[in-house]
Structure 1
């Protein structure tokens, strides 16, 4: 097994996109107290939990717990990235105020093509960071 095998970038980016596209739903399912705070440097900090679970049906509790676990994994992977990558991914997938790609690349003062190149790089780096490369698809 190679340490750095050739990566299928297209399939890897699709997996990252699919995962990060669920971020807003995960926050809603886990509850507001489990959504990470985002600092000025786009560092994600999980809010402390008291281990309190509602006394609803087991499926609801399990769904909430799984959402909390997934948010923790995403937070850990995001914090392994540099601030620039975190900011791009946050603006694209995590900001509560859904923003168009056009607004994002205008906010960052970049061309459309540069935005997509930089976003692609950030997605690959996220895939490498998430659970030690779990999202990477080899060719």
Structure 2
């Protein structure tokens, strides 16, 4: 039997979808540095949650935090250059362009493009034991 061939294009798409959600997950977990909560509260709009719905919300928050941690863990096992490229692309509050990443890391813009493609595949292998890898 022949080994399965990796569908590189689809694998990269899978990784991008997961990484694009990181900022949202990070905000939901509560890692936002800026607190823009309104200074006045309107008590009539506050609804009390039942025990069941608060338990459901807690379980959902635990799942969100676990997903965010899985993404961070996969990022941390990448090579340093690939980790930096993906970090600047998907993990900082305002993503960097390839040009800005090239200035930050010290590679050419074209090298950043190539290394980002490699980094996405490396991330797919590291994330949940290869869950994002697509096969032909």
Q: TM-score range by the shorter chain?
A: 0.7 to 0.9
Q: Note the alpha carbon deviations across 1:22-73, whole angstroms, 9 max, x for none.
A: 111000011129xxxxxxxxxxxxxxxxxxxxx8744533332221010121
**Counterpart contact for 2:70–2:127, Cα < 8 Å:** yes
Gaps of 5+ in 1: 34-54
Corresponding residue for 2:46?
none
Are residues 1:95 and 2:92 paired?
A: yes
**Cα distance in 2 between the residues matched to 1:91 and 1:77:** 15
What is the SS of the residue equivalent to 1:128? helix
For 1:105 and 1:6, locate their aligned partners in 2 and report how far apart those are by CA, in whole Å.
Answer: 31
1:8 aligns with 2:13: no
Q: Which has the larger radius of gyration?
A: 2
Instruction: Indicate whether 1:30 and 2:35 are aligned.
Output: no
Q: 2:71 aligns with which of 36, 49, 74?
A: 74
| Separation in structure 2 between the aligned mates of residue 13 and residue 112 of structure 1, nearest angstrom | 19
In 2, Cα distance between the equivalents of 1:108 and 1:79? 17
Q: Determine if contact 2:98/2:113 at 8 Å carries over to the other structure.
A: no
Corresponding residue for residue 62 of structure 1: 59
TM-score w.r.t. the length of structure 1 is 0.74
How many residue pairs get aligned? The number is 117
Q: Which portions of structure 1, spanning 4 or more consecutive aligned residues, are displaced by more than 3 angstroms? A: 55-60
CA contact (8 A) 2:74 2:127 kept: yes
What is the CA RMSD across the aligned residues, in angstroms? 2.2
Give the TM-score normalised by structure 2. Answer: 0.75
**Residue in 2 aligned with 1:49?**
none
Higher helix fraction (1 or 2): 2
